[in-house]
Amino acid sequence: MNKGGAGLGGGAGGGSGGGPTAAAAAAAAQKQKTLLQRVDNDIGNLVDNFGFLVNVARVNDPPVRNSQEAFMMDMRAARMVQAADSLLKLVSELKQTAIFSGFASLNDHVDQRTEEFNKLAEKTNGTLARIGEEAVASLKDLESHYYSSALRTSNPPEP
């Protein structure tokens, strides 16, 4: 619940931009209240229906009543599963809200990644420059070695 509230608060903050306005805060609070209400309803349904199932475990004399209770048990079980599915959907909605909410942490992460990539780019540029310098030095050495080598001085000139 707290995480959902934090997510909603973050969403409200992210949505308003500069800071949570009164309307945005009120909307966020209302949404939080609605979600909590849904959670309470679903949990209440689960508990109530399970209580009914436990209570109806008593064996009654008339067989007709047993049939009636069997039908009711099926109905209560279906309601329990429906409540669980509703909770699952609620969790999905919270996750979707979290994806489009926590922009502060996302921005921090993006800034961090940007900084890392800039450093990587600088490092790469430095590496390229170093490679270039080494290539120049190597070229200079190779040229001097070649032109002072016996291979060039002894062999007749070739086109």
Partner 1 sequence: MDEDLQISIDKLPIKRLDAIEESGSERFPSDVGYDEKRLNLIRRIDFGWAVEREDPSKKQKSEGTTSAKESTTTNQQPWQWQSLVENLQLAHQELSVIIDLINTVEANDAVTVAGMTRPKQLPNELLSDLAVSTATKLQCFRHLGKYFKQSATALEKQVAREARFYGALIRLQQNWKVKRHRLVAAASGNEGFYIDLFYNSLHDTSSSLRPSSMSTIPIEHDTAGMLAVNLPPNSCRSLQFEFLGSHSANNMRRSGETKMQALSEDSSRETIKEHANDDECVRETHSLLREVHRAIFDEQVFELVSREACNSSLSVNLTGIQENYLRLSINQGASVSISLLLSSQDNKTTGAGTNHSETETVPSELSDVSKFGEGKDNVKKLGLPNRISFEIYLQQLFHEYVFVKVKNKTTSSVRSQITGQQSKDNLNILDHFCMSLAHRIFSNKVLSELENLVCRTPYVQLISHPTWHSRTSSWTLSMKVPQSILHAGCQIQSSGNSNVKNVRSQFWTKVVVIDESISVEGEGNPNIVGLFNGKPESNCPINRYECDLADLPIILLQHVASQVIQWLHEEALTVGIKVNRDFLSLAFELDHGEIASLVAHVDPEDTRGCISWWLTMDDGLTEDHKLHPDLSIGESESRKYLGHLSLDVLYSTLLDFVNLCSF
Nearer to partner 1, 19 or 128 (CB): 128
Binding site for partner 1 (CB under 8 A): 53, 57, 59-61, 63, 66, 69-70, 73-74, 77, 80-81, 84-85, 88, 91-92, 95-96, 98-100, 106, 109-110, 113, 132, 135-136, 139-140, 143-144, 147, 152-153, 156-159
Nearer to partner 1, 22 or 54 (CB): 54
- The Cβ of residue 84 has, within 10 Å, a number of other Cβ atoms equal to 13
Contacts of 60 (CB under 8 A, 6+ apart): 66, 69
Whole-angstrom distance, CA of residue 120 vs CA of residue 104 = 24
Nearer to partner 1, 19 or 62 (CB): 62
> In a 10 Å sphere around its CB, with 0-12 CB exposed, 13-18 middle and 19+ buried, how is residue 32 labelled?
middle
- Amino acid 98 reads A
Nearer to partner 1, 40 or 143 (CB): 143
- The Cβ of residue 8 has, within 10 Å, a number of other Cβ atoms equal to 20
